[in-house]
Amino acid sequence: MSASAVYVLDLKGKVLICRNYRGDVDMSEVEHFMPILMEKEEEGMLSPILAHGGVRFMWIKHNNLYLVATSKKNACVSLVFSFLYKVVQVFSEYFKELEEESIRDNFVIIYELLDELMDFGYPQTTDSKILQEYITQEGHKLETGAPRPPATVTNAVSWRSEGIKYRKNEVFLDVIESVNLLGKYPGGLLGRMVSANGNVLRSEIVGSIKMRVFLSGMPELRLGLNDKVLFDNTGRGKSKSVELEDVKFHQCVRLSRFENDRTISFIPPDGEFELMSYRLNTHVKPLIWIESVIEKHSHSRIEYMIKAKSQFKRRSTANNVEIHIPVPNDADSPKFKTTVGSVKWVPENSEIVWSIKSFPGGKEYLMRAHFGLPSVEAEDKEGKPPISVKFEIPYFTTSGIQVRYLKIIEKSGYQALPWVRYITQNGDYQLRTQ
């Protein structure tokens, strides 16, 4: 169930325009909205959903306007709020600025838009490009010559033009995962026993599937992911499954088909776009683990002993690894020794950067740094910022997500080359020192 009615109110709660879609809520119920909102605001309990009797008010504020949707029965709240924000977007594209004056100046067009945006309480056409095929800013005007049907009638899509041609038809698909991780090394001697995951305080995977499409005509693509992949509304599966959360699709994806059989079917835009994004809130084994021991000597020098361990499979390699290690602001006279890579002191950032161009899986490397330090006490008061790590691992995903197939179907029957690539990289990847 969705919205019964939609209102646009001014800051005093006066109705500027409204549309009754279902007729099951008295239109005068909106008079209770502003008093309830002011009461909740005074109590410090303001909520985006307010209620009076059996009527719920779902509202957002934009400039000097309130957009309010009412519902008497259980509504899909996320759908209603998504619709209200879409209304703001569409109105803003029509009138440049959405405010009280633009509402008063465009009553006729707004009523036409509200009729197209929603039907019997359910969102219908919310794409502004499609709406502009029906409703122009000047209102309905008769055009000379033969009338042209709207794009939706001809099965065209707003995000892709007709008549696109390429000599070589290709599709590039990248599965990119960023690992956000906060870990803590408990301190002590390097190489002491630490659990396989170290001390991971927080971790998550943020992923996206990005595409570059160079295809002629109006092709349909079908993407299949490996059987381990589940989506958050399918319920918990086996322990080895990959359960994606916060999944968002590009508008080209046929959501109805995806809901039925989990097939990702779409007519793609031309060029580069993000097909989908997702999140995985899971305990991630640190791909690159850092152990650090910091020793201070007689208040005049400080020594760092750093061990970097790659904890992914040997067949994979991390490229362009950078380990950023904070040092005191007044450190000087640096000396470095490392088993691999290069070390650079960056005094303007109060850090040293250990760069390793190629870091194979299952390896560990050591680095020592020595600084002169006039005042160790000052460093203690400042606290110890975490070590941060940057990396990129090609042909590898932390989640285990894989593309099982990518089919390209076009009526002319041309052959196209699909290219699939996997990349895991650092997101906000930090490790606290002892």
pLDDT at res. 218: 94
Which ranges of 201-342 would DSSP assign to H, the alpha helix? 255-261
Token readout for 87 is 């209304």
pLDDT at res. 298: 73
Q: What proportion of the chain, given as a percentage, has pLDDT over 90?
A: 51
Token readout for 355 is 């760069």
pLDDT tens-digit series, residues 317-357: 999 999 999 999 888 999 999 999 999 999 999 999 999 99
pLDDT at res. 151: 44
pLDDT at res. 227: 65
78 or 68, higher pLDDT: 68
* CATH architecture, domain 288-394: Sandwich (2.60)
**Amino acid (one-letter) located at 276:** M
pLDDT at res. 236: 40
Name the superfamily (CATH) of residues 170-284+398-432: Mu homology domain, subdomain B (2.60.40.1170)
Per DSSP bridges, beta strands 271-280 and 417-432 are unpaired
Domain 170-284+398-432 and domain 288-394, same fold? Reply is yes
Judge whether residue 290 has pLDDT over 70: yes
Tell me which range, 95-109, 248-262, 328-342, is most confidently predicted by mean pLDDT: 328-342
Please state, in angstroms and rounded to a whole number, the distance separating the CA atoms of residues 10 and 159: 35
Judge whether residue 67 has pLDDT over 60: yes
pLDDT tens-digit series, residues 158-188: 899 989 999 999 999 999 999 999 998 776 5
Q: Where are the domains of the chain?
A: 5-134, 170-284+398-432, 288-394
The highest-level CATH class for domain 5-134 is alpha beta
pLDDT tens-digit series, residues 294-324: 988 876 889 999 999 999 999 999 999 999 9
273 or 99, higher pLDDT: 273
pLDDT at res. 189: 54
Across all residues in the chain, what is the average pLDDT? 85
Judge whether residue 262 has pLDDT over 80: no
φ/ψ region of 87 (left if φ > 0, alpha if ψ in -120 to 50, else beta) reads alpha
Q: How wide is the angle at C-alpha 28 spanned by C-alphas 76 and 5, nearest 5°?
A: 30
* pLDDT confidence bin for 221, thresholds 50/70/90: very high
Kindly tell me the burial class for residue 97, based on how many C-beta atoms sit within 10 Å of its own C-beta (0-12, 13-18, 19 or more): exposed
pLDDT at res. 57: 94
pTM above 0.75, yes or no: no
